[in-house]
Structure 1
Amino acid sequence: MMDTSKNHTISKIVAKTMLRLFILLLGFAAYLYFSIDTIVLDNMKVSFPHQWAFLFPMLLLIIEIGLLFFMLKHKYSKSDINWLFSLNSLLLNIYLILLYTRIYPLLNFGS
């Protein structure tokens, strides 16, 4: 007989997948950061039009890290924390993808 419900198993799988996707996106950012010249970084102007545009993604990142520690402390045993982490990770991943699509065309790898 199974000890856990189907929802708990699905929440564990989704949480682990979202964690791996988030780490993959951060790895992609680190790769881009270390693969381009510092001259390109100095000349690149990425600006946020309002302070709120920078505050909310940082808040998402702080919540992501807090939920990550709480989720890993309990070893994926709480399905509600798994779902909260998955939702937060989905929103943060979407934001990172949108940010990368905005910054990537500014990088000139050929010149």
Structure 2
Amino acid sequence: MTDRLIPVLVALGGFVGAACRYAVGVAVPGSAPVGTLAVNVLGSLALAASVGVVRSRRLRYFLATGLLSSFTTYSTFAVQTVSLGPVWGLANVGANYALGFAAVLAGLALGRRLT
């Protein structure tokens, strides 16, 4: 049987995540790659921490598929990276991947401590 509430939870999570993403962009004006880096690292940390903690199927859809998927942003990262040029673009890719993976490891450790 299909849970008819799931699409609503994903949409609500998406709304909240997009609003939070916008707020970060406003809070970090003039430094677009830094704001994008911040949301991608925070989103990686939060998603990894939620893996071992969130048991509710509905909450996972709200949080992971909705909120965190709209909070983090690959398309903006890609466009900003290209616009930075080869040297700074490569630095941006390195920072996003290195800090993103570090955030995942920290999030998994945090999730294990919370369970």
Give the alignment's TM-score, normalised by structure 2. Answer: 0.39
**TM-score (ref. length: structure 1):** 0.40
Question: Larger C-alpha radius of gyration, 1 or 2?
Answer: 1
